[in-house]
């Protein structure tokens, strides 16, 4: 093959290498710009990823939903429809194996974790349970949240998630109405 041809193929590969991350960015930006923001009550814990650094895993209060359908397979997609409770936090309105054309409610696509026939509940893997943080802050965040829950009202920590047509972007984690990044710094200063 001539250099020219090799170079053309290389340009194509290079384009794909650029388009993949760019597409990810555009996709997520459109969810943030046009999506609806929901608050999910949560608790963070702090693990580590060798390439992407420290993050906190969020354990959400809404992780399961009571349903009459008992045939759920692990890792299958599940459409989760949302509503807001009286305090302004997100709760599950309905779950479905297919997209409900008639529903006007916001939804996102998650994965089935398992179905418990004992409680008749389907448990869901939420697709926004990782929040990357600066490495010095991740562990402190976990501690800060634990402390915050001890001395104030229970469950004052929530994740701010934008939802648009099945897609989600986790934009921030908020403790006592302060972003967790700033909260950790303030807790440090005290």
Partner 1 sequence: MNSKIQNDIKELVSKQVITPEIALNIETYYTEKHSGSPNRLFTLFAIFGSALIGMGIILILAHNWDDLPRAIKTLFAFLSLVIGQCLVGYTILKKKGTAWKEASGTFLFFAVGSSIALVSQIYNIPGDLSSYLLAWVLLCAPLVYIVKSNVLGLLHIVFSTYYAIVYGYSFLSASNTPWLYLILIFMILPYYALLLKHKRNANITSIFNWILPLSLVVVLGTFFTQNDEIGFLMYFTLFGLLYNIGKLPFFNNQKLRRNGYVILGSLGTILILLTLSFEEIAGDVFEKNIFVNSQDMSISIILFILTMAILIYSHLKKWTVNYNLFRYVFVIFTAMFFISYRYNIMPALLVNMLVLALGVMVVKTGVDKFHFGISNYGMLIIVSLIFCRFFDTDISFILRGLLFVAVGIGFFLTNYIMLKKQKNLKNKV
Residues that bind partner 1 (CB under 8 A): 3, 6-7, 9-11, 13-14, 16-18, 20-22, 24-25, 28, 49-55, 74, 127-135, 137, 169-171, 181
Closer to partner 1 by CB, 145 or 152: give it: 145
| Helical (H) or strand (E) element with 98 | none
In whole angstroms, the minimum distance from the beta carbon of 75 to partner 1 comes to 9
Q: Is 31 exposed, middle or buried (0-12, 13-18, 19+ CB in 10 A)?
A: buried
What angle is formed at CA 137 by the lines to CA 133 and CA 142, rounded to 5 degrees? 95
Residue for token digits 């991740």? Answer: 138
The Cα 41–Cα 82 span in angstroms is 14
Residue 65 beta carbon to partner 1: minimum distance, rounded to whole angstroms: 20
Whichever of 34 and 103 has its CB closer to partner 1, that residue is 34
Min. distance of Cβ 100 from partner 1 in angstroms?
24
Question: Residue 54 or 164: which CB sits closer to partner 1?
Answer: 54
């Amino acid at each position: 093959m001539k250099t020219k041809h090799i170079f053309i193929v290389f340009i194509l590969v290079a384009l794909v290498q650029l388009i993949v991350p760019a597409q990810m960015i555009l996709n997520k930006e459109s969810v943030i710009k046009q999506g609806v923001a929901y608050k999910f009550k949560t608790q963070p814990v702090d693990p580590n990823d060798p390439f992407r650094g420290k993050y906190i895993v969020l354990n959400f209060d809404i992780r399961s939903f009571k349903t009459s359908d008992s045939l759920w397979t692990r890792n299958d997609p599940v459409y989760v429809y949302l509503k807001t409770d009286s305090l302004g936090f997100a709760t599950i309105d309905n779950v479905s194996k297919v997209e409900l054309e008639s529903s006007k409610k916001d939804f996102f696509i998650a994965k089935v974790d398992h179905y418990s026939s004992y409680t008749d509940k389907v448990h869901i893997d939420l697709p926004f349970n990782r929040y990357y943080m600066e490495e010095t802050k991740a562990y402190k965040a976990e501690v800060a949240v634990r402390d915050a829950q001890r001395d104030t009202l229970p469950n004052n920590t929530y994740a701010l998630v934008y939802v648009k047509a099945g897609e989600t972007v986790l934009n921030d984690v908020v403790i006592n109405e302060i972003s967790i990044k700033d909260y950790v710094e303030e807790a440090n200063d005290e």
